[in-house]
Amino acid sequence: MIPALLLSAAILSPMVSSAEYGEKTTGKFRLYGLFSPDREADLRLVMQKVENVTLASVDFDAGEATFEYNIKKAFGSPTPDQIPERLNNMLRGASNSTFGVKPLSSTPRDKLERLEIPVYGLDCKACSFACYKILAEADGVEYAAASFKEQKAVVLIDPAKTNRETLEKRLKEREVSLEPAKVIMVP
């Protein structure tokens, strides 16, 4: 038989998750800044500077990452919707704003449209990041990647929010070339 005092304490005390008592939990988020597969190594270096959070896995093709953490140690006492914001701030701070997180997409993956946009003139990771950033920050873009080696950008878009023409216009306004340079032969 449970003593009445213990029973009433159990009924009246608020439910506290085991994660708050030291167990680790995982969270999956969209990852900002992972514009090419080789950036995963950069992300792993950045994660060494982020206290109480570990990178568990990366899904480059989905633009998502799973992190492991103890909620209380890593974020204090957040509400569930504050966790992505706090983790985003931690990653941005540790990476000079080249990495961050967002909540997972609310648009089902089968409703997204995949576009490949040829981009020319990118000759390094910094140029690829600039191209990626233009696309990733556009409304309706759920995933973006850019490669100077392949001379293309790949995006997954919500077609109800954006389209190819809008994204190409954004790139052109920022002077990203969508056509190969013309070579003029001088006699």
pLDDT, one tens digit for every residue, the chain (187 residues): 333 333 333 333 333 344 444 689 999 999 999 999 989 999 999 999 999 999 999 999 999 999 999 999 999 999 999 999 999 999 999 999 999 999 999 899 999 999 999 999 888 889 999 999 999 999 999 999 999 899 999 999 999 999 999 999 999 999 999 988 666 667 7
CB-based contact 169:123 (threshold 8 Å): no
Where is 46: in which H helix or E strand? helix 39-47
Strands (E), 44-125: 53-59, 64-69, 100-102, 113-118
Residues constituting the chain: 187
pLDDT at 16: 38
Q: What is the pTM of this model?
A: 0.78
Q: How far apart are CA 52 and CA 39, in angstroms?
A: 22
Structural domains of the chain, ranges and CATH numbers in brackets: 23-102 (3.30.70.100), 109-173 (3.30.70.100)
Where is 142: in which H helix or E strand? strand 141-147
